[in-house]
Every structure is written in structure tokens, then in C-alpha cells.
Amino acid sequence: MDMNVSTIDGACHCGTVRFRVRLTNGLHTARRCTCSYCRMRGAVAVSADLGGVDILSGEEALSLYKFNTGTAKHFFCSKCGIYTHHQRRSNPNQYGVNVACLSGLSPFDFEDVVVYDGANHPADAYFSKPRVAGHLKFITEPAEKLIDIPEPDSLGG
């Protein structure tokens, strides 16, 4: 994985929404958040400046979701439901872009992802700057430690 990649293409799951993103600092900005929405969404996001996301196709299929203060704008494909990017509340001049939508990348490619305390957002005057709530780590198991999971029918479901 090239952590210093500057431009990369992305798409939603069904391929309707396709985009090109110019990252502000490669993949070094990968992060998660503990706000009510991000907790449920579970995505790892990287940063791009506001003019750094070009929708190549499917713009008409993008839906917008806003909540609470309405500052953050969360975009997702109206056909497959995948979150592609959002305009940040913490920095409205930036987008967070879903790593899972970027060509050749997976959130599981990152060994360590910083998790910001979005539940106590700095814009709500809880703190003067973003706080790190913790780290999300992905540790690959050696092949000999992998176990077979029974098919759903054998689990009674």
C-alpha cells in the first residue's frame, strides 16, 4: 500500500457513483470517529480538500444526509447505499473519503487507525481541539490460526 498516494479513483459498491480524489496527505490521514453517525457507519476515512473530490459519473445518484447541526454533509449512493464521502463538521473545508471505496484499498489494509472523540465534538465547546479517543488495530492472523465458520444453516438460522 502506497501511503503517499496523492490521486486515486473510487466508486460505490454498485459502480454507479465514480469519483477521483486528490488526497491532502496521502493515506496518512486515515481515521475513524466516535460520533453517533460514524459509530454506526464504521468507515475509515482519509482527507481531501473541498475541491479535491471530482464526481466522474453518477452524481445524480448521490443522496445527502445531514443531522444535528447540519454542518456535516454525508453523501451516499442512492442505489447501493454505500457512503462515499462527507464534508466534515470539524473542518468544513475538507472532505472525509471512505477508504473502502478507493481502488485497491480496504480498511483492513491499515494496521492502526486513530479514532477521534466525535461524541465530544470540539465545535460543541467541550474541548478546544479534537481529542484522540483511541486506536483501531487490525492484526492479521497467521493462516494456521484461521478457523472455519459453520454455514448459517448449521447454526439454526
CATH number of the domain at 93, please. Answer: 2.170.150.70
Give domain status of residue 33, yes or no. Answer: yes
Please report whether residue 130 resides in a domain.
yes
Q: Is residue 78 part of a domain?
A: yes
Q: Please give the pLDDT value at position 19.
A: 98
Which candidate, 19, 28, 135, places its Cα nearest to that of 83?
19
Least confident of 30-34, 57-61, 137-141, 152-156: 152-156
> Would you say residue 157 has pLDDT above 60?
no
Q: 149 in a domain, yes or no?
A: yes
Q: Which of 3-7, 110-114, 132-136, 145-149 has the highest mean pLDDT?
A: 3-7
Angle at 28 between CA 23 and CA 31, to 5 degrees: 95
* 50 within some domain: yes
pLDDT of residue 124: 63
Q: Is 72 left (phi over 0), alpha (psi -120 to 50) or beta?
A: beta
Q: Measured between alpha carbons, how far is 157 from 147 in angstroms, rounded to an integer? A: 20
Mean pLDDT for the stretch of residues 11-30: 97
Give the model's pLDDT for residue 39: 84
Q: Is residue 1 part of a domain?
A: no
The residues that bridge with 85 in the sheet, in sequence order, are 75, 97
In a domain, residue 2? The reply is no
Q: By residue range, what is the domain housing residue 74? A: 7-155
Of the listed ranges 18-22, 82-86, 142-146, the least confidently predicted one is 142-146
Confidence class of residue 123 from pLDDT cuts 50, 70 and 90? low
pLDDT, tens digit, 9 for 90 and up, residues 99-116: 999 999 999 999 999 887
How many structural domains are present in the chain?
A: 1
Q: Residue 79 half-sphere exposure, CB side, CA atoms within 13 Å?
A: 12
Region 23-51: mean pLDDT is 91
Query: Does residue 55 lie within any of the structural domains?
Result: yes
State the average pLDDT for the chain.
Answer: 88
Instruction: Answer yes or no: are the C-beta atoms of 56 and 48 closer than 8 Å.
Output: no
